[in-house]
């Protein structure tokens, strides 16, 4: 419903390099900019942006398009949603086609702006109280004891919440703010008895939490030593009190310090992840301005995806205690799913980044960060260090590393990690170590777990469940390679690694009439789907009749799905051909589109008849 003129106006006004630069760390490369593709995992940049043409292209996954397609892909939004966002950012006026929907959008927008303005007012109030309130000196003394400078205090807009019950309430009333809005963002709390509200944060050092755009969305308040004028408390307050989640703030999606550090993260192509508010401020002050911290929650997948928009590498800098080691183990799964390259800095027992910087200085920490081992090296070293000395305990610790090493894609890296396990555990026979690692992996290949892993194993090339299922049938029943329709599989399989597995199965069955597991795995040493294959080979799921029936239903279904996947891409090519005036190409592509559509309908009809 948006005219081509308006789309062109938005495209002209929206700088594609700046917009994409919010998600990808871009570096100059001739007339273009390049960086790591946000749509697939890669270590060598293959993603290029051509600013003057308003176009991007990845030579790895072949993703390409303009600013609209990029935001649709990376944000998961529809074209109208992206167009509206860009129009508001660039000042382009769009016509209103759905008054009711437009009115709802404007109401939500105004409410968010009103709430954000309220949080800004509260921030200014707390900052002023730090300097003006009689008890603000207690908060300033805490900052001084921690070595936090006035410059850092201003940079992070640190403040003080007075100990009175209604200091902020009265300030907001005087400013004409809505109590309902202040309650909605967690600044004030309704009284249990009677009317009115009281301040949520009282006698606390205040840390404003901003989103990636710099808008304050929450607060974290640290308890302070009691003021002389305060009544004696029955029990000590919680060390930290954080804002509740609200329309502006979702703690699993916000990282403290990301707005302040986003430029440095891009420049360093790495982020440093710590855990505490003081840790974060101290790190920035010491020169580690690419540091961030989650707020009141563990490191989540949403956090990892947010970080990956800015850099491929993350350095985990947690406390040097049992809880810190546990946090690293939990983060391993998260960074693996996000495709982040993770390293771990080990701090002395009982130390945190803040105390380490005060005691040993920034240079000592920088050396540790530069030389930080990968997260897998850390997990190996930690397992060896914490393992008991008896042989059984060592064997169990090694076995638990099996599933971790099985996810390493590169056979060279995996081999080096195996050697590290042997060295750290003091075992000279690497073969014994490999056997123990396989035993640990085997624990996860019981029937139900193997079935799950067969389709969910983290692999570099995403493969559909249906394709994996069809190949798993041939692994279960190799004689079905000669079944009707199986000869179409090479053209239907979209993954080169899966095609390589199929080719090996076919050749082996032709040669000897059956599968030899060891030989099959030896042939596929470098295959990225090898972890999935290993899990699949551990258990047989289907008998011959069942496998034959699923093949009969699955082959035409896969063919139809491939066509349906191709149709939108073909349609986009038709649109592009018409846009550049290539009518002959557009006509040819249209004929191809019609033929594929007919084939899809025919396959669908045949499936229903079955």
Residue-wise pLDDT tens digits, 295-316: 878 899 999 988 988 888 999 9
Residue 254, number of CB atoms within 10 A of its CB:
25
pLDDT band at 462 (very low <50, low <70, confident <90, very high): low
Average pLDDT over residues 441-459: 45
Residues 6+ apart with CB under 8 A from 436: 395, 398, 399, 402
- Of 492 and 210, more confident: 210
Cα–Cα–Cα angle for 607, 609, 610, nearest 5°? 65
Residues 6+ apart with CB under 8 A from 265: 25, 258, 271, 290, 292, 307, 310, 311
Average pLDDT over the chain, rounded to an integer: 86
pLDDT band at 610 (very low <50, low <70, confident <90, very high): low
pLDDT band at 96 (very low <50, low <70, confident <90, very high): low
pLDDT band at 515 (very low <50, low <70, confident <90, very high): confident
| Residues 269-286 pLDDT 10s | 899 999 889 999 999 999
Same domain as 294, residue 359: yes
Q: Per-residue pLDDT for 106 more than 90?
A: no
Cα–Cα–Cα angle for 185, 83, 570, nearest 5°? 130
Question: What is the C-alpha to C-alpha distance for residues 520 and 6, in angstroms, rounded to an integer?
Answer: 57
Among 372, 402, 433, where does a domain finish? 372
Same domain as 366, residue 334: yes
Same domain as 388, residue 276: no
Least confident of 116-130, 212-226, 246-260, 584-598: 584-598
Question: What is the C-alpha to C-alpha distance for residues 236 and 256, in angstroms, rounded to an integer?
Answer: 26
Cα–Cα–Cα angle for 271, 277, 280, nearest 5°? 30
CATH number at residue 86: 3.90.580.10
pLDDT band at 234 (very low <50, low <70, confident <90, very high): low
Among 183, 216, 249, where does a domain finish? 249
Same domain as 518, residue 416: no
Same domain as 456, residue 596: yes
**Is 114 within the bounds of a domain?**
yes
Q: Which pLDDT score, from 0 to 100, does residue 605 have?
A: 61
Question: What is the C-alpha to C-alpha distance for residues 401 and 394, in angstroms, rounded to an integer?
Answer: 11
First to last CA, the chain: 41
pLDDT band at 187 (very low <50, low <70, confident <90, very high): very high
Tokens of 134: 């009689």
Q: What is residue 217's three-state secondary structure? A: strand
Global confidence as pTM: 0.63
- Report the percentage of the chain scoring pLDDT > 90: 38
pLDDT band at 122 (very low <50, low <70, confident <90, very high): very high
Residues 6+ apart with CB under 8 A from 348: 320, 356
Same domain as 24, residue 77: yes
Phi-psi region of 271 (alpha: psi -120 to 50; beta: other; left: phi over 0): beta
- Report the percentage of the chain scoring pLDDT > 70: 91
pLDDT band at 455 (very low <50, low <70, confident <90, very high): very low
- Of 455 and 242, more confident: 242
Q: Which of 6-20, 57-71, 373-387 has the highest mean pLDDT?
A: 373-387
**Is 102 within the bounds of a domain?**
no
Question: What is the C-alpha to C-alpha distance for residues 219 and 282, in angstroms, rounded to an integer?
Answer: 18
Residues 6+ apart with CB under 8 A from 197: 166, 169, 179, 182, 183, 188, 189, 190, 191
CATH number at residue 501: 1.10.860.10
Same domain as 296, residue 324: yes
> What does the DSSP assignment read for 408-472?
---HHHHHHHHHHHHHHTT-S-HHHHHHHHHHHHHTT-SHHHHHHHHHH---SS---HHHHHHHH
CATH number at residue 276: 3.40.1360.10
Least confident of 36-45, 158-167, 410-419: 36-45
Among 249, 277, 304, where does a domain finish? 249
Same domain as 244, residue 341: no
Please state the φ and ψ torsions of residue 333, each to the nearest 5 degrees. Answer: -65, -40
Question: What is the C-alpha to C-alpha distance for residues 203 and 137, in angstroms, rounded to an integer?
Answer: 11
pLDDT band at 451 (very low <50, low <70, confident <90, very high): very low
**Is 97 within the bounds of a domain?**
no
C-alpha closest to that of 542 among 477, 451, 448: 477
Q: Which pLDDT score, from 0 to 100, does residue 177 have?
A: 93
Question: What is the C-alpha to C-alpha distance for residues 8 and 10, in angstroms, rounded to an integer?
Answer: 5
Q: Which pLDDT score, from 0 to 100, does residue 84 have?
A: 83
Could you give the C-alpha distances from 66 to 31, 55, 72, 310, 329, in angstroms and in order? Answer: 17, 5, 10, 20, 39
Residue located via tokens 């699923």: 550
**Is 96 within the bounds of a domain?**
no
Question: What is the C-alpha to C-alpha distance for residues 25 and 36, in angstroms, rounded to an integer?
Answer: 7
Range of the domain at 412: 381-443
What is the DSSP pairing of strand 270-273 with strand 313-316?
A: parallel
**Is 607 within the bounds of a domain?**
no
Same domain as 241, residue 260: no
Same domain as 309, residue 341: yes
Q: Which pLDDT score, from 0 to 100, does residue 382 have?
A: 92
**Is 98 within the bounds of a domain?**
no
Same domain as 594, residue 463: yes
Residue located via tokens 């079955």: 610
Average pLDDT over residues 382-394: 88
**Is 392 within the bounds of a domain?**
yes
**Is 608 within the bounds of a domain?**
no
Q: Which pLDDT score, from 0 to 100, does residue 444 have?
A: 54
Same domain as 260, residue 219: no
Residues 6+ apart with CB under 8 A from 39: 58, 61, 63, 73, 74
Number of separate domains in the chain: 5
């Amino acid at each position: 419903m948006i005219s081509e003129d308006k789309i062109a106006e938005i495209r002209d006004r929206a700088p594609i390099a700046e917009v994409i630069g919010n998600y990808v760390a871009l570096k100059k490369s001739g007339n273009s900019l390049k960086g790591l593709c946000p749509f697939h995992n890669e270590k060598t940049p293959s993603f290029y942006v051509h600013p003057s043409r308003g176009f991007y292209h990845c030579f790895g996954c072949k993703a390409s398009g303009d600013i609209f397609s990029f935001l649709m892909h990376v944000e998961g939004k529809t074209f109208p949603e992206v167009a509206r966002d860009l129009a508001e950012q660039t000042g382009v006026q769009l016509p209103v086609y759905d008054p009711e929907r437009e009115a709802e959008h404007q109401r939500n927008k105004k409410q968010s702006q009103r709430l954000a303005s309220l949080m800004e007012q509260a921030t200014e109030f707390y900052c002023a109280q730090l300097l003006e309130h009689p008890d603000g000196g207690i908060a300033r003394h805490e900052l001084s004891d921690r070595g936090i400078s006035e410059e850092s205090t201003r940079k992070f807009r640190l403040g003080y919440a007075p100990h009175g019950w209604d200091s902020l309430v009265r300030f907001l009333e005087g400013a004409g703010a809505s109590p309902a809005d202040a309650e909605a963002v967690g600044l004030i709390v309704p009284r249990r008895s009677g009317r009115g509200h009281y301040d949520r944060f009282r006698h606390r050092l205040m840390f404003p939490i901003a989103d990636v755009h710099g808008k304050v969305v929450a607060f974290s308040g640290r308890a302070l030593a009691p003021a002389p004028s305060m009544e004696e408390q029955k029990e000590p307050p919680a060390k930290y009190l954080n804002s509740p989640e609200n329309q502006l703030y979702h703690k699993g999606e916000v990282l403290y310090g990301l707005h302040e550090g986003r430029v440095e993260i891009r420049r360093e192509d790495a982020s440093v992840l710590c855990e505490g508010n003081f840790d974060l401020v101290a790190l920035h002050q010491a020169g580690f301005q690419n540091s961030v911290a989650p707020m009141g929650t563990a490191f989540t997948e949403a956090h990892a995806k947010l970080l990956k928009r800015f850099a491929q590498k993350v350095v985990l800098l947690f406390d040097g205690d049992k809880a810190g080691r546990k946090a690293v183990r939990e983060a391993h799964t998260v960074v693996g799913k996000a495709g982040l390259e993770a390293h771990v800095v080990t701090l002395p027992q009982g130390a945190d980044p803040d105390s380490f910087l005060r005691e040993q200085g920034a240079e000592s920490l920088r050396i540790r960060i530069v030389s930080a081992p990968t997260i897998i090296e850390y997990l190996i070293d930690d397992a060896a260090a914490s393992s008991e000395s008896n042989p059984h305990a060592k064997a169990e610790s090694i076995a638990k590393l099996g599933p971790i090493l099985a996810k390493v894609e590169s056979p060279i890296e995996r081999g080096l990690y195996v050697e590290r396990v042997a060295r750290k555990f003091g075992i000279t026979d690497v073969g014994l170590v490999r056997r123990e690692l396989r035993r640990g992996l085997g624990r996860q290949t019981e029937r139900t777990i193997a079935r799950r892993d067969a389709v969910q194993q983290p692999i570099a090339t995403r493969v559909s469940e249906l394709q994996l299922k069809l190949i798993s049938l041939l692994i279960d029943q190799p004689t079905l390679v000669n079944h009707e329709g199986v000869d179409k599989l090479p053209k239907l399989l979209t993954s080169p690694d899966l095609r390589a597995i199929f080719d090996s199965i076919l050749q082996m069955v032709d040669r000897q009439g059956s599968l030899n597991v060891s030989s099959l795995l030896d042939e596929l040493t470098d295959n990225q789907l090898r972890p999935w294959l290993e899990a699949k080979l551990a258990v047989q799921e289907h008998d011959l009749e069942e496998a034959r029936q699923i093949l009969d239903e699955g082959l035409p279904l896969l063919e139809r799905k491939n066509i349906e996947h191709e149709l939108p891409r073909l349609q986009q090519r038709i649109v592009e051909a018409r846009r550049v005036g290539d009518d002959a190409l557009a006509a040819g592509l249209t004929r191809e589109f019609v033929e594929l559509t007919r084939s899809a309908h025919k396959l669908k009809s045949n499936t229903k008849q079955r």
